[in-house]
Structure 1
């Protein structure tokens, strides 16, 4: 029997009631409903506080794209919205679980249990550490519903678990909270909870490898200095959006390899863009006015800071020191990012632009240019959309506005 757990509105709910067939069917039937309307119109639904039902509807809707295996499995229980927002997606959890395989792993910041779920596919046993008893109960139930039985659960915080355990792990995973006690966002590992920097000696004593998840906003070079012993940095993204920055730490002493990885479905099988900071620092790049093709690196490559090396590796000219666009006369299709064919150079007035855009439709891009995309769209009197691109950027000697089509 499941105990009582607290909903997001702090109302006690019998876990078994939530799992009853008619309740689960209501949640499924109403997943497209506006939960705020449900909350306003009802105090309870089927004898359960409406806030709890709303929490399940929101969770199921979010899981449809983020966690499809949960969405397609009956009788999954969803946690408060914040836990669901903070957990890994299926694609990022799969990626992390594929980095190292072994006998024993620990997720020190278990949360909603998605990373533990996927680590369990790569390790014989996984320790899931979570101090919130209600959340732990949900996670255990969901893992069982998903057919995963090699996870051991500990109601504990990371620090207490590390003190108590005598196990040695192949991998420890940790996703520290990036909120201070005053709910202020923090970006240094030493300011996170738990304090990963302070724990590092213990972590390396207890495990061969430590994988640490960070916000996409983290300063990578500062984090490498803080942690020490970083062997790999993974900048992981999907659909050209940087999702996570991961630091693999071990006792091996070597310069960290930084890898920019695109997990988008159309990029499956592509090699990550890999380099070291010393390679980037030693690289020399030449500049050019825009040629036949323009290249824009992925958000992950830009986050990695390979501003010179990405041009050098693919034989491209850079547009300007602070304009992270590149150019060539011959197309380089393997470039990690978008590629545009320059059609025409434009004057920055609506009359001139309209000659090339008779229907008025264009996608606006602004890179190191005085006007933002919305300001440029307003000035040129264009409508967002269509197959053509208007790209504004600064070259070494002057500013450019070009009409282009996307070829990759």
Structure 2
């Protein structure tokens, strides 16, 4: 494991070198020299790699001078700035009293920093003292002055007879062998066992979990869940968020949110009870086809999305939808159908035989389709392989660009 003494990384010449050599081949750097400006090239390579990742994941950290990056696993597991900012805005809407908050598994401190913008005081808790020191230094560079730091476990911290207006917890999802865990009861700390104690200390809890977690299984284990948020960035599912409000007694609202690079949010919400009882008509592909975003698919809103936009579904197990006229602002991708069941002559007219191939509930994979019809990736058009009620379809289509 790489140990970081962050103070040795604050040398002005070293910081300039890291900033100016962001594009360098880090493996060649390590082989070329043992030390640069008094620091090991392994340590420098690690900082350059971290800075590259931060450019898109943590743009404010990337732009701020003298930021120190943690070991790769801690950076990988941290929230992105976009998801942390979403959580901040969520709490503004759902938590009215914002005097004191606590982040019980603070890690690199991305969420902690965003919480510090809306709470008077925030407690950062992590028993990894090296990581704590890095986070504290970075928070100072970012201008945060209302965060207190506690090198303790979540269980030790929560045992104090203190009340917080809000508790945030992102339990570790890897075991001692770094194997990924997806069940709530396997995480550290065990939030299922800890939830009663947490509810004695606050009225509001937000639990961040793996996007692989079974939502319905988690709801059976957690009490007083008010809202479940499936959070994606650019259509890649990143987090599940369970917002617990003490004594909430109504079925939770499930929110599917997709944060796009353009700063636009696709937002869809539904109730699971409505989803399970809903009935949706089926039809063959019509003039337009719709593919819900990753958050909607993970949330399981397969019928609710059809009802909301008055769409028909291709089949029970094919999560594609269709309509005769265009539905604006659909939360996902919208396609205009050019031709059903295209033949060899249609493919011959495609420039350089380049096309984007995607499948839903279809016997051939995109690679197998491309091989069969001698197609290549790219171009402007799409070929969608899908199953209807009693027929398999290939659909030649073009993507409809969303209005900003």
TM-score band w.r.t. shorter chain: over 0.9
How is 1:196-345 mapped onto 2 (pairs within 5 angstroms)?
196-251=191-246, 252-266=248-262, 268=264, 272-345=267-340
Q: Is the 8 A contact 1:76 1:142 kept in 2?
A: yes
**2:101 alignment counterpart:** 105
Once the two structures are TM-superposed, the CA of residue 269 in structure 1 deviates from its matched residue by: 5.7
The answer to whether 1:192 aligns with 2:187 is: yes
Whole-Å Cα distance in 2 between the matches of residues 317 and 267 of structure 1?
30
Whole-Å Cα distance in 1 between the matches of residues 31 and 72 of structure 2?
18
Q: Is the 8 A contact 2:183 2:213 kept in 1?
A: yes
Q: How many residues align?
A: 395
Whole-Å Cα distance in 1 between the matches of residues 250 and 261 of structure 2?
32
**1:367 alignment counterpart:** 360
Whole-Å Cα distance in 2 between the matches of residues 358 and 33 of structure 1?
37
Show CA shifts across 1:374-395 (max 9, x none). Answer: 1111111111111111111010
Once the two structures are TM-superposed, the CA of residue 253 in structure 1 deviates from its matched residue by: 1.4
Q: Is the 8 A contact 1:362 1:387 kept in 2?
A: yes
SS of the aligned residue for 2:359 comes to: strand
SS of the aligned residue for 1:294 comes to: strand
Closer/same/farther in 2, CA of residues 16 and 228 from structure 1, 3 Å limit: closer
Superposition RMSD in Å: 1.4
Q: Is the 8 A contact 1:363 1:386 kept in 2?
A: yes
Once the two structures are TM-superposed, the CA of residue 184 in structure 1 deviates from its matched residue by: 2.6
**1:152 alignment counterpart:** 148
SS of the aligned residue for 1:384 comes to: coil
Whole-Å Cα distance in 1 between the matches of residues 261 and 100 of structure 2?
30
The answer to whether 1:357 aligns with 2:353 is: no
Once the two structures are TM-superposed, the CA of residue 16 in structure 1 deviates from its matched residue by: 3.4
Give the TM-score normalised by the residue count of structure 1: 0.94
How is 1:75-224 mapped onto 2 (pairs within 5 angstroms)?
75-101=66-92, 102-163=98-159, 165-224=160-219
Once the two structures are TM-superposed, the CA of residue 267 in structure 1 deviates from its matched residue by: 6.2
Once the two structures are TM-superposed, the CA of residue 254 in structure 1 deviates from its matched residue by: 1.2
Whole-Å Cα distance in 2 between the matches of residues 269 and 263 of structure 1?
5
Once the two structures are TM-superposed, the CA of residue 400 in structure 1 deviates from its matched residue by: 0.4
Report which stretch shifted further, 36-45 or 275-284: 36-45
Q: Is the 8 A contact 1:236 1:245 kept in 2?
A: yes
Structure 2 spans left out of the alignment, 5+ residues: 93-97
Structure 1 spans left out of the alignment, 5+ residues: 1-7
